[in-house]
Amino acid sequence: MNPYTDFTKHFGNSLKAPDFSNFLAEIFTDLTEYDILQSEYILSVKTGIELGFKNEDAEYDDDDIIIFKKGTPIFSHFNLFPKSESIISSFPFDIKFSDTRNMLHKKIGEPLKTVYLQDKLFNKTFLIDHYKLGDIAISIDYDSETETINHIQIRDNNLVIDELKL
């Protein structure tokens, strides 16, 4: 079992960095391949973790499905789903997937920012609370009806795009 900080200490590392590659190999047996045309994530369905990458120097045309330059994927964020509790021993603010939004507000306090969005395209309502812990931004995505946790995103606030910075 690993605390979430075992992941955050690798923020800013290239996907190909030996230490980061070894770390991933020790934990995951089912990671998908990184493919910028498909996603900014590599996934582990078995563990319920999505590892996200920033890749500013990649050059590609996703309409024509052509990669001109693969770039350098830099580890910048990750999403945790309920299955991840089997390999993550501690979460920021001692969050548990069994916590409700009310419980978290009592435990952590009011979020820095809350996004409540009715998305007509997906026919879904999004409810997301955002917190900050040093240079780490934490977003908690809830089921909007039950206010239970769907997933938690943890990101390096210095590496993400400006729209996501807290």
Residue 32 has what pLDDT? Answer: 95
Q: Is the pLDDT of residue 123 over 90?
A: no
Write down the H helix ranges in 5-146: 5-8, 18-27, 101-108
Average pLDDT over residues 21-40: 91
Average pLDDT over residues 17-22: 96
Average pLDDT over residues 104-128: 89
Beta bridge partners, 68, equal: none
Kindly provide the b/e burial profile for residues 134-154, where b requires at least 16 CB atoms within 10 angstroms of the residue's own CB. eebbbbbbbebeebebbbbbb
Average pLDDT over residues 98-106: 95
Distance, in Å, from the CA atom of 159 to the CA atom of 136, rounded to the nearest integer, reads 10
Average pLDDT over residues 145-163: 86
Q: Is the pLDDT of residue 10 over 70?
A: yes
For residue 5, the Cα-to-chain-centroid distance in whole angstroms is 13
**How far apart, in Å, do the first and last CA atoms of the chain sit?**
29
Residue 15 has what pLDDT? Answer: 94
pLDDT bracket for residue 166 (50, 70, 90): low
Average pLDDT over residues 88-101: 93
- Radius of gyration (Cα) for the chain, nearest Å? 16
Q: Which of 32-36, 41-45, 146-150 has the lowest mean pLDDT?
A: 32-36
Residue 150 has what pLDDT? Answer: 95
Question: To the nearest whole number, what is the mean pLDDT of the chain?
Answer: 89
Q: Is the pLDDT of residue 67 over 80?
A: no
Percentage of the chain exceeding pLDDT 70: 96
Q: Which of 4-13, 60-69, 70-79 has the lowest mean pLDDT?
A: 60-69
Residue 164 has what pLDDT? Answer: 60
